[in-house]
Amino acid sequence: MALDALFKPFEFKSLKLPNRVVMAPMTRSFSPGGVATDDVAAYYARRAAAQVGLIVTEGTGVARPASLNDPNVPRFHGEKELAAWKTVVDEVHAAGGLIAPQLWHVGSAKGPAQLGKVDSPSGVSKAGGGQFTEPMSDSDVADTITAFATAAADAKRLGFDAIELHGAHGYLIDQFFWNGTNLRDDAFGGPTIAERSKFAAEILKAVRAAVGPDYPVIIRLSQWKQQDYAVKNAETPQLLEAWLQPLADAGADIFHCSQRRFWEPEFEGSDLNFAGWTKKLTGAPTITVGSVGLSGEFIAAFGGEGSQPASIDGLLERLDRGEFDLVGVGRALLQDPEWVVKIRDGRSDELQNFSREALGVLY
């Protein structure tokens, strides 16, 4: 039956997953002073024990002064911070799971607190917005690339099973992709998406050099931005290929393709979603994500909208025919650590509704 596709093992390089379920990264502001707590470790270990195939952590900041805009989001640099992440890794592994950190730089995206000098491709926060800070200098760019590579090397040293780069949702890497926020006329800008992909490609090259050829490197991408839900980096399959191929060539192994609703076609004339088109054009494994297992999409959740469990039959059909390889599950797993085993065992009557209150609790 189609459910078998979700519980078929997946292997790529050193990554050997027991099933196709990936816990999607979700910002959890429960790390005071940027240091992950024992509660954070237990939160991830509970999902590992309940058969999540791969856990991708919340975004965690690389070693740049303004990589984060919230003092309670964890950092991925510093002795105390990395020791805390080692505890997380060890507890997830002890529970039988696999885990990858999502390495993050928010760029000019606003948050509860500005923690240093803002890094921004061109000093603007959205398309048509006024310049509010200086564009990143050549040394800023070089130091940021190094910060990602150092974090990736630390992740491998700590025992993480893979790493993910956050290149989506209007944060720093995505700000370089987007012509609304990247107005540069140097090597890291230009009128084409291929030219604006150079920053991400250089990060990927540096990361690959730091972790070696067999360590899995994931990059999360999105067309939509928090600054503009309707905008697209690539309006056609040809532009999508021009965007993605340099990233694959630079060392991206797996593309994590974020949509607000996974079932929506990416381009007219095809039912393929973002992950489907990405796999078709690059041949690389892809993760689909976006309101899996729930009736409502996640942006609305921040406004208080609840969601009810929704059928995954359509998802399973797409997975079974090979449109994508892995399935990112976010809020359903945030609300219910046992989501995977309930799906596996046919206990759909036990699936939980999602409410906004779950965003404010770590369990």
> Active-site residues: which are they?
171
Query: From CA 73, how far away is CA 35, in angstroms rounded?
Result: 8
Alpha carbons 99 and 341: distance in angstroms, whole number: 18
Gap between the Cα atoms of 337 and 47, Å rounded: 5
Interatomic CA distance for residues 178 and 67, integer angstroms: 18
Contacts of 300 (CB under 8 A, 6+ apart): none
Q: What does the alpha-carbon distance between residue 337 and residue 171 come to, in Å, rounded to a whole number?
A: 28
Asked if residues 116 and 75 have their Cβ atoms less than 8 Å apart, the reply is no
**Residues forming beta bridges with residue 166, ordered by sequence position:** 220
Strand (E) or helix (H) holding 317 = helix 313-320
Place of tokens 């024992």: 38
Task: With beta carbons less than 8 A apart as the criterion, state whether 94 and 84 touch.
Answer: no
CA–CA distance, 242 with 234 (Å, rounded to integer): 9
Phi/psi of residue 309, each to 5°? Answer: -55, 140
The CA distance from 279 to 290, in Å, is 17
By DSSP bridging, strand 10-12 and strand 15-17 are antiparallel
